[in-house]
Amino acid sequence: MSTEDAPPPGTSPGGPAPGPATPAAVRAAGCVLWRRSARTAAALELCLVHRPKYDDWSHPKGKLKRGEDPLAAALREVAEETGYTAAPGAELPTVRYLADGRSKEVRYWAAAATTGHFVPSDEVDRILWLEPPAARARLTRSRDRDLVDALLATHPLGRLGTTPCP
C-alpha cells in the first residue's frame, strides 16, 4: 500500500478506529390521553400525570421492556400510571431528547380513556384532567406542549380515530 492509499492516522482500513461504544438510545412510549369534557361534549380534556420524583407534570410514558412493541408499551404505561385503559388512535410525533446524558426516543399516540380510575402510587401521585389550554400551561416541558398541539391537529373528535369514555 502506498502512503497515498494509507488510511488517515487514527483510522483503520475499514473506517474509523473503534472508540468507546455509544450507548443505544433509551426507547420509551406514551400517550396523550384524552376524553370528552364533562362540561362540553365538543371539548377535550387531557390527562396529565404528576411524578413526585421529578416534581413535574407530563403525559403518561415509560421505557419499553425488552422485545416489547412500542404501542403495547404506551398502553401499558397509561394503565400503570393513570389506572385507565385506552383506545389508541393516531400516532403523534416522536420526541427525542437527552436524559441523564443519554439519548432518549419516545413514541406517542393519541389515546382515548375508555374505563378505569386513578390510584396514587410512588411513581405518579396525582393526575389532572384539563382542557388543552390549561394542560399546555401546566405541562413542565415545552416538548410535551408540542404534543398537545399535535393532538389538536387531529381534531375534531372524529379524526382522533378513537372512542373516548363519557
Give tens-digit pLDDT for 76-121.
999 999 999 999 999 999 999 999 899 999 999 999 999 999 999 9
Question: For residue 74, what is its C-alpha cell?
Answer: 404506551
In this structure, are residues 80 and 43 in contact, taking their beta carbons and an 8 Å threshold?
Answer: no
> For residue range 111-157, what is the model confidence (pLDDT) as tens digits?
999 999 999 999 999 999 999 999 999 999 999 999 999 999 986 55
Question: Which pLDDT band, with edges at 50, 70 and 90, does 20 fall under?
Answer: low
In this structure, are residues 48 and 151 in contact, taking their beta carbons and an 8 Å threshold?
Answer: no
In this structure, are residues 166 and 36 in contact, taking their beta carbons and an 8 Å threshold?
Answer: yes
Number of Cβ atoms within 10 Å of the Cβ of 64 = 20
In this structure, are residues 57 and 140 in contact, taking their beta carbons and an 8 Å threshold?
Answer: yes
